[in-house]
Structure formats: C-alpha cells, structure tokens
Amino acid sequence: MIYDCLIIDDEKSLLDATSEYLNLFGISTVTAESQEQCFEVLSKDRVKLILLDINLGDESGFELCKKIRQMTDFFSFITIFSLIPALYPHHHLTVRCILQLF
C-alpha cells in the first residue's frame, strides 16, 4: 500500500494524535513506535514522507534516519522532529509545512 506519511514516535499518545490530526486533512498515515516496526512497515508499504522523532527511547532518530537512507532511495523527504512544546513553542508551524506538501 502507498501512504502519504509514516510517523515514527515511541510515545503512543503523540503518535496517535499526530496521525489523527493529519488524517483530518486527508493525509493517509501509517505509524511505527520503534525501529523494528519502522522497518516492518517499509518492507511492505511505500511512503511519500517520514516524520521521525529524534528521541526514540533508547534509539536515536538520527541513527534511524541514516539506516533508512542506506536501506532505500525512494524517500524524497525525511523530517526529524521533536514535539516538546516548552522547547519548541512554534511546533504548529511544522504541521503547516507538512500540510503544504500535500
């Protein structure tokens, strides 16, 4: 299957909220809570955009990004993000940029 966006985040509540929000705008999403789930999704589905959390528990979003880039070349865009409103009070601008891609 082809999805507009793969969202990778170890915090289930943020993962679900981000997915549901993007779905409201007609953006099809698939989610993964770990590196293993990410590769499971990528082995069977295609995605146009990846939203990747930089802090995946014991895993690094930056390292996962490198692995994804090495694994395949069909991704045109990978975003590294962190949804910590206290540190990033303008995170809603990221959502606007995502919506403009579609």
Q: Say if pTM beats, i.e. exceeds, 0.85.
A: no
Which residue, among 50, 42, 56, has the nearest Cα to 12 in the 3D structure?
A: 56
Query: Is 50 exceeded by the pLDDT of residue 74?
Result: yes
Q: Which of 27-31, 45-49, 56-60, 71-75 has the highest mean pLDDT?
A: 27-31
Mean pLDDT of 68-91: 61
CA triple 10-40-34, angle to 5 deg: 15
Query: Is 80 exceeded by the pLDDT of residue 91?
Result: no
